[in-house]
């Protein structure tokens, strides 16, 4: 430590730069756990599409509209929530969001008309519109220097929840019927309690940590034109990733049933396998981005899925499972890196960037599901996968991103 002298000649220590903030693992794990519960409940909606299609006499276009309702209510509000909370902290927004999810899930359990089904999807979407950007913000606050790890853990919780939701639909809802979804509301009650404790930590420590993280940013900021161009490229990459994932999460069971004549239960088990692979890719993406640089990880993740997506329409049942897992792992590893990369591009707007990217991921997935549903009605579900196979080629745009790790 360097020293200076006062008037009497006594050496005095000069104030050192603040030490790096420690990673608060308990908060990260709590957020990941609640994300798992949240997305487990939300994933029940697409996982029971075959049941709803039969019970309410729906076609693919109707199912696409349900997905669109869920995705749009969350995607349109998420950037607004992020922008607001960048200006004014709301430590207890997370438990309030979970209440909306609880009510939507309860309505879904007893929805016997298409209008009630759409309203239930909208309430669940509104819960997501607050939960995702605010949870991402809390993960960023608690991350310290391990931002990629924190974002991966947070998103991994969601992916595991989606996979477990599909498994729950296959083992419980398929056997007990639509009303059994009400049992999953107990998960929302648990999440509300945990998120209340997280809100107490946020109020006591989170805002101070967020300010210190901004002050710790070093180096000259990138030119505005470079930031704008980079954000536009990230939006293109989010489009390619989530439209393709929407084709699998919304219509994969129908594809397997139509092409390989599987039962609904067996098709949902294959969906669980795919969603579990997405969870594996997500947990790997953040730490790999911390280690090797987020640009390189983004480049590899999006473009690296292309061989798998091109092979899927031509594979038998065994290889369909294999290549869908490969596509899930590689594509999923991109999103934690994309979110943290965007946060580092605009470090004073963590909530806005989180809300924008999560909102785009939901919105593009919803629009893609609606468009692909209409295309499936016109051309068949197998044609949809033949067209979507080329989406990861948009990963070539990642070459034009600046290397923030090198800077």
Hey, where are the domains in the chain?
A: 22-214+223-400
Mean pLDDT (the chain, rounded): 81
In tens, the pLDDT along 145-190 reads 788 888 888 888 887 787 677 677 667 766 666 677 788 888 889 9
Residue 304: name the closest of 333, 335, 340 by CA: 333
pLDDT band at 404 (very low <50, low <70, confident <90, very high): confident
CB 152 within 8 A of CB 287: yes
Is residue 234 scored above 90 in pLDDT? yes
SS3 content of the chain, % helix, strand, coil (to 5): 80, 0, 15
pLDDT band at 403 (very low <50, low <70, confident <90, very high): confident
Q: Which residue has the tokens 């969603």?
A: 275
* Phi, psi angle pair for 374, to nearest 5°: -65, -40
β-partners of residue 5 are: 11
Q: Which residue has the higher pLDDT, 275 or 324?
A: 324
Instruction: Give the model's pLDDT for residue 4.
Output: 40
Q: In the predicted model, what is the mean pLDDT of residues 16-37?
A: 80
In tens, the pLDDT along 104-133 reads 888 888 878 888 888 988 998 889 888 988
Q: Which residue has the tokens 């092409």?
A: 259
Residues of 16-50 as b/e, b for ≥16 C-beta within 10 angstroms? eeeeebebbeebbebbbbbbbbbbbbbbbbbbbbb
Instruction: Give the model's pLDDT for residue 125.
Output: 86
Instruction: Give the model's pLDDT for residue 30.
Output: 94
Is residue 14 scored above 50 in pLDDT? no
Q: Which residue has the higher pLDDT, 315 or 174?
A: 315
Whole-angstrom distance, CA of residue 164 vs CA of residue 149: 22
In tens, the pLDDT along 41-98 reads 887 777 677 777 777 888 778 888 887 888 778 777 888 888 888 888 788 889 999 9
**What class is the 22-214+223-400 domain?**
mainly alpha
Is residue 391 scored above 80 in pLDDT? yes
Whole-angstrom distance, CA of residue 67 vs CA of residue 362: 10
Instruction: Give the model's pLDDT for residue 10.
Output: 47
pLDDT band at 325 (very low <50, low <70, confident <90, very high): very high
pLDDT band at 11 (very low <50, low <70, confident <90, very high): very low
Instruction: Give the model's pLDDT for residue 175.
Output: 66
Is residue 19 scored above 60 in pLDDT? no
Instruction: Tell me the DSSP string of 109-140.
Output: HT--SHHHHHHHHHHHHHHHHHHHHHHHHHHH
Q: In the predicted model, what is the mean pLDDT of residues 342-348?
A: 84
Instruction: Give the model's pLDDT for residue 232.
Output: 93
How big is the chain by its Cα radius of gyration, in Å?
A: 22
Question: Which two structure tokens, joined as six digits, stand for 195?
Answer: 């998120």
């Amino acid at each position: 430590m360097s020293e200076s002298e006062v008037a009497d000649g006594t050496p005095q220590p000069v104030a050192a730069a603040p030490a790096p903030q420690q990673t608060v693992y308990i908060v990260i794990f709590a957020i990941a756990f609640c994300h798992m519960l949240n997305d487990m409940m939300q994933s029940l909606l697409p996982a029971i599409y075959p049941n709803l299609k039969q019970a309410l006499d729906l076609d693919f276009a109707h199912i696409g509209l349900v997905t669109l309702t869920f995705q749009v209510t969350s995607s349109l509000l998420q950037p607004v929530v992020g922008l607001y909370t960048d200006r004014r902290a709301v430590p207890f927004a997370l438990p309030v969001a979970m209440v909306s999810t609880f009510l939507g899930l309860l309505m879904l359990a007893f929805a016997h008309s298409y209008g009630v089904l759409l309203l239930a999807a909208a309430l669940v979407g509104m819960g997501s519109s607050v939960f995702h950007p605010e949870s991402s913000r809390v993960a960023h606050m608690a991350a310290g220097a391990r931002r990629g790890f924190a974002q991966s853990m947070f998103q991994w919780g969601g992916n595991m929840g989606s996979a477990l939701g599909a498994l729950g639909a296959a083992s419980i809802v398929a056997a007990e019927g639509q009303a059994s979804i009400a049992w999953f509301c107990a998960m929302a009650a648990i999440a509300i309690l945990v998120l209340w404790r997280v809100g107490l930590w946020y109020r006591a420590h989170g805002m101070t940590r967020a300010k210190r993280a901004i002050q710790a940013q070093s180096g000259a900021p990138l030119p505005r034109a470079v930031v704008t161009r980079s954000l536009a490229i990230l939006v293109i990459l989010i489009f390619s990733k989530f439209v393709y994932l929407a084709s699998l999460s919304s219509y994969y069971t129908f594809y397997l049933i139509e092409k390989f004549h599987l039962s609904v239960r067996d098709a949902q088990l294959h969906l669980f396998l795919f969603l579990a692979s997405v969870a594996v890719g997500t947990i790997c993406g953040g730490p790999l981005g911390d280690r090797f640089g987020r640009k390189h990880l983004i480049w590899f993740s999006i473009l690296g899925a292309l061989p798998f997506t091109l092979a899927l329409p031509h594979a038998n049942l065994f290889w369909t499972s294999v290549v869908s897992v490969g596509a899930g792992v590689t594509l999923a590893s991109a999103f934690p890196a994309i979110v943290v990369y965007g946060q580092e591009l605009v470090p004073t707007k963590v909530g806005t960037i989180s809300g924008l990217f999560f909102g785009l991921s939901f919105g593009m997935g919803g629009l893609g599901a609606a468009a692909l549903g209409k295309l499936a009605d016109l051309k068949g579900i197998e044609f949809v996968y033949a067209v979507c196979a080329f989406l990861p080629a948009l990963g070539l745009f990642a070459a034009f991103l600046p290397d923030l790790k090198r800077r």
